[in-house]
Amino acid sequence: MLDLIHSTKTHDEDRQGEALALPSTVEGSNGRKLYIESYGCQMNFSDSEIVASILLDKGFETTKDYKEADVIFINTCSIRENAEQRVRNRLKEFESAKAKNPGMIVGVLGCMAERLKSKFLEEEKLVDVVVGPDAYRDLPNLIEKVDDGSKAVNVLLSREETYADINPVRLNTNGISAFISIMRGCDNMCSFCVVPFTRGRERSRDTHSIVREARELYNAGYKEVTLLGQNVDSYKYTPEVPEGEESLPTVNFAQLLSLVAEVSPDLRVRFSTSHPKDITNEVLYTMARYENICNYIHLPVQSGNSRVLELMNRTYDREWYKERVDAIRRIIPECGISTDVITGFCTETEEEHQETLSMMEYVKYDFAYMFAYSERPGTLAAKRYEDDIPEEIKKRRLTEVVNLQREHSLYRLQHFVGKVHKVLIEGFSKRSDKDYCGRNDQNTMVVFPVDERYKVGDYVYVLGQSCTSATLIGKIVD
Ligand code: SF4
């Protein structure tokens, strides 16, 4: 599962939807204004860039103010009940704008649209069009349908669609870091997860189109790309060859990583999300071989207990996960590791919860995304197991996990104090424009005083001087 947009706090229902920032006027404009707001994971934000590109091609302009929009799209998340409730509340806020502009079109995209399908139109009268993650090419037609007076729905999932030929329009970008989606869907069937139902079967994108996109971004001044997939380790692409010609070898994730790293040693490469059952030593050795592939892995564990992992259908057990962590520590000693943890999954006992805490103690993660189990309609768990852990116990276990993680994040950050880190300047610190901010190799945020010799997009060496449990504080050293 992809972690939610990393605004230094992910999978975080508190995260506000992000309005689209795009050039306001475009060539061959049809004079209609588009407003997009995205929720959820990096893949959703990356998809909104595809949607923007498709509609800009049709002459739409953009606005950051939904009140002046002709078309409003919300790219929705369905990972937990809270995420869906947030979308419903937001739709209510659009009612007055639509009342003032009856011709305004309101549409929902993404995972909640795919999960609810046409039921969304019954439940939310304001909504005119419902579009699933694989049907964005159809948006211009669907908008025309609504213009002609009817509601429109396209939630067909595809086994081929990767939008490989569509050049994403970079949204809310700092011009330094960008996401590149390398695959869509997921073939794992973790019992708590809606993604296989809302994003369909796994398909890997054409390798050449990924490397081309990385090169174009580098040539456009970007210094970092993050390769996105629900489970990047199962990336595999076999180039099509004309009939009768000799088949070409399949490209796996390790090979894709090195192809992207070869674009330029000056281009940092990150990726998310890995899967414990599929991450190979070949990927780890590839990371160790390229200085510009960042030493950071997001490796969701979900639970530290083998019986609960089996109920979750995670297809690995406690020992397997620990062996993967040992391999990471052996092959890339300085690697940063983050994870996802779910507390209070169906029938989880106190002892099994303690095994999650002891797994965290064993790994000492740099940071983690931690949630109490939220039953999702249509998932295997909802069909097979009773959601039997009382809310207060789920919450108490979550608090224990969060407190332990805070200790470990501080421990990891203290480990960086007194050391020099290569940091890519991404912008100014949220706290003060007298400070720059950027991340080190391990994906930890570093804040340090502005030095006029350097600008956003430059690499600098920063000596870690102190830290909080979330940020390393330092100064540039030459
Ligand atoms: S099914 Fe499992 S691997 Fe796939 S997105 Fe969901 S949690 Fe991740």
Round to whole Å and give the CA distance between 444 and 266: 19
Cis, peptide link before residue 471, omega less than 30° from 0: no
Round to whole Å and give the CA distance between 416 and 412: 7
Test site for ligand 1: of 78, 115, 193, most ligand atoms within 8 A of the Cβ: 193
Instruction: Specify the residue for token string 């160790």.
Output: 288
User: From atom 5 of ligand 1, which residue's Cα is the shortest distance away?
Assistant: 1
* Percent above pLDDT 70 for the chain: 94
Q: How far does the centroid of ligand 1 lie from the alpha carbon of residue 195, in Å?
A: 6
Q: Which residues of 333-370 are buried (b: 16+ CB within 10 A; e: fewer)?
A: eebbbbbbbbbbbbebeeebbebbbebbeebbbbbbbb
For the chain, list the domains and their CATH numbers.
9-154 (3.40.50.12160), 177-237+248-414 (3.80.30.20), 420-477 (2.40.50.140)
Q: What is the mean pLDDT of residues 108-134?
A: 96
Q: Is 196 in the pocket of ligand 1 (CB under 6 A)?
A: yes
What contacts 270, CB < 8 A, 6 or more positions away?
A: 224, 225, 226, 227, 294, 296, 443
Per-residue pLDDT reduced to its tens digit, 197-209: 999 999 999 999 9
- Identify the band that residue 14 occupies on the pLDDT scale cut at 50, 70 and 90: very low
Q: Is 312 in the pocket of ligand 1 (CB under 6 A)?
A: no
* Percent above pLDDT 90 for the chain: 88
The reported pLDDT for the residue numbered 11 is: 39
Per-residue pLDDT reduced to its tens digit, 214-271: 999 999 999 999 999 999 999 999 988 888 888 888 999 999 999 999 999 999 999 9
Q: Which amino acid is at 12?
A: D
Q: Is 228 in the pocket of ligand 1 (CB under 6 A)?
A: no
- Identify the band that residue 61 occupies on the pLDDT scale cut at 50, 70 and 90: very high
Q: Is 191 in the pocket of ligand 1 (CB under 6 A)?
A: no
Instruction: Specify the residue for token string 């040693």.
Output: 265
pTM: 0.92
Q: How far does the centroid of ligand 1 lie from the alpha carbon of residue 471, in Å?
A: 29
The reported pLDDT for the residue numbered 173 is: 77
pLDDT at 50 over 90: yes
Q: How far does the centroid of ligand 1 lie from the alpha carbon of residue 278, in Å?
A: 12
Taking all residues of the chain, what is their mean pLDDT, rounded to a whole number?
93
Per-residue pLDDT reduced to its tens digit, 307-316: 999 999 999 9
- Over the Cα atoms of the chain, what is R_g? 22
Q: Which amino acid is at 454?
A: Y
- Identify the band that residue 9 occupies on the pLDDT scale cut at 50, 70 and 90: very low
Round to whole Å and give the CA distance between 229 and 226: 10
Test site for ligand 1: of 190, 197, 311, most ligand atoms within 8 A of the Cβ: 190
Q: Is 230 in the pocket of ligand 1 (CB under 6 A)?
A: yes
- The tokens for 251 are 């490209």
The reported pLDDT for the residue numbered 147 is: 95
Per-residue pLDDT reduced to its tens digit, 327-351: 999 999 999 999 999 999 999 999 9
Which helix (H) or strand (E) segment holds residue 426: the answer is strand 420-428
Q: Is 186 in the pocket of ligand 1 (CB under 6 A)?
A: yes
Q: Which amino acid is at 431?
A: R
pLDDT at 29 over 90: no
User: From atom 2 of ligand 1, which residue's Cα is the shortest distance away?
Assistant: 190
Please, which residues bridge with residue 342 across strands?
371
